[in-house]
Structure 1
Amino acid sequence: SPSAPSPSAKSTNPLDPLGVGDALKGLVDALGRPLKDAQKPATPTPAPTPSATAKAKDPAADAIREAAQKAGAGVKELSQDVKDTAKTPKDETGKTADGKKADDATGPDASPSPSPSTSASTDPDGKQPFPCPTLDAKALADAKLEPGVPLLPDEPWYLDSSMLTLYGLDYAGIVEVKTAGGKIKKVLKFTADSLDIKDLYQTVGTGSTVAHLKSRPGSTSTIRDAKVTMYTESLKGNLFGLIPIEFTPNSPPPLNVPFAFFTNVKVVQAGQFGGNLTVPGLKTYIGPAEK
């Protein structure tokens, strides 16, 4: 009979299709140091006073918050630049820089308003997603078979998470990988130093023989101890918890950032190597796909 689920799992098998032992490891925070380094004090600290212990701080949490604030500020600044270049500058009265009303601005220097047919797409709430991934035809056409990678499973594996945080992230571009069945796939290549995966739920397979792997609800699974290399078919979620985004080889990341987190994330992974995955309250079973 199958053994009872263990409270946690660690593995270093690089070919585990569920990523157990090689799963998502990620992107250095914007402070330029891995999470584990943030947890080590540089010098011995004196015993805390009563007032200090009343407001004890978690260095790792502080590093995450500061990195997220910096990354979020950068996204907002870039987003504002895009908006500013897409319209004629106006003051608070609705006039352009030359004193004309925006609706009356004409001439060779006038900036025409984009028509609905040419405007960038918006999300269901009418907000403009940013950054906007677009097709990089040259990068897609120039993608080469990744050397030194074993044949990958024909079927990808899937990850759902309420929050995926990647530290030491590096986007290495579009590459090709080959499956055991001889299929060539174009994928996004990422590397990362460590990952946090809240409410981990991974599946592989189709029909009634899907392998399911779940963490304890509300827990955070981790990948540590080595650099992780990810060959990703799709990464979809809310970047920094705010920006709806989907990265694929046809819509690759327009920016390379050293730290990122996604909420309500769904990942389709062709293959992944490196790192030790720890899953609190591990539960595994075989059954049909859940709806």
Structure 2
Amino acid sequence: SAPAPNPSADAIREAAKKAGVDVRELPQDVKDTAAKPKDETGNSDKDDAEKDDEDKAGETNDADGKQPFPCPTYDAKALADAELEPGIPLLPDEPWYLDSSLLTLYGLDYKGIVEVKTASGKTKKVLKFTADSLDIKDLYQTVGKSGNVAHLKSRPGSTSKIRGGEVTMYTENLKGNLFGIIPIEFSPNSPPPLNVPFAFFTNVKVVQAGQFGGTLTVPGLKNYVGPPEG
């Protein structure tokens, strides 16, 4: 019988075709993970997790040099052409930080590199994304790096959700395992090479300059101010 269609794989291939990038057939573990995102919150020890990441890094190229997802590369023109984003308020001088064991973005659209202005008048370059909705497992959000840090946590193992409207994200850095197995890092100096309508990242860390739209629901919300953790 014919294999079942895979929306994630098809979306990547279509985006790659438009970009003129050669992308090999996604391995079965990516397809399996895309169909049912892996739970990366088990109790395996750190050494095993680090070994898994090393193994995954070695799997990113096929024997003929094709990649399951092309590497982000520096784009001098896109960086130079970034324009100030109109119609948004001044953003905080400090970004906020998000850690999640599984971040899933639906209806995702990468809009390119833009500039945003902060309350002190400083401008900085960021990646602009929009999404229809987000799922965030094991949400842990902080503001600040030293002194009194604002912490926002969900109940361990729970999934926070953003629903109710388009979400616009101005991202300084996003680092994690794309589709659960491809170690990747996006920033204005290494922007996404493809625009795909769906993506998920495991063990993800995000530095966010600002975010607008949608309503965030956090199960077992714990909100406090205290010293940095970890």
Per the TM superposition, whether the score is higher than 0.5 is yes
Q: Please give the residue correspondences for 1:95-244 in structure 2 after superposition, counting only pairs within 5 Å.
A: 124-125=54-55, 126-128=58-60, 130-244=69-183
CA distance in 2 between partners of 1:164 and 1:207 (Å): 26
Residue aligning to 1:6 = none
CA distance in 2 between partners of 1:226 and 1:138 (Å): 32
Structure 2 residues without counterparts, runs of 5 or longer: 26-52, 62-68
Residue aligning to 2:199 = 260
Deviation digits for residues 45-103 of structure 1, max 9, x if unmatched?
xxxxxxxxxxxxxxxxxxxx95345457779994338xxxxxxxxxxxxxxxxxxxxxx
Deviation for aligned residue 1:228: 0.6
Larger RCO: 1 or 2 (CA < 8 Å, sep 6+): 1
Contact 2:95 2:209 in 1 (8 A): yes
Contact 1:72 1:240 in 2 (8 A): no
CA RMSD of aligned residues (A): 2.2
CA distance in 1 between partners of 2:194 and 2:12 (Å): 13
Number of aligned positions between the proteins: 186
Deviation digits for residues 191-248 of structure 1, max 9, x if unmatched?
0100000000000013121000000000000000100100000011111111100000
Percent identity reads 77
CA distance in 2 between partners of 1:259 and 1:75 (Å): 11
Residue aligning to 2:65 = none
Counterpart residue identity of residue 7, structure 2: A
CA distance in 2 between partners of 1:195 and 1:250 (Å): 25
Contact 1:187 1:248 in 2 (8 A): yes
Contact 1:161 1:264 in 2 (8 A): yes
CA distance in 2 between partners of 1:175 and 1:284 (Å): 31
2:29 counterpart of 1:80 = no
Residue aligning to 2:39 = none
CA distance in 2 between partners of 1:177 and 1:155 (Å): 13
Higher strand share: 2
Q: 2:7 aligns with which of 67, 71, 94?
A: 67
Contact 1:68 1:240 in 2 (8 A): no
CA distance in 2 between partners of 1:143 and 1:172 (Å): 11
Contact 1:215 1:279 in 2 (8 A): yes
Structure 1 residues without counterparts, runs of 5 or longer: 1-64, 82-122
Contact 2:160 2:216 in 1 (8 A): yes
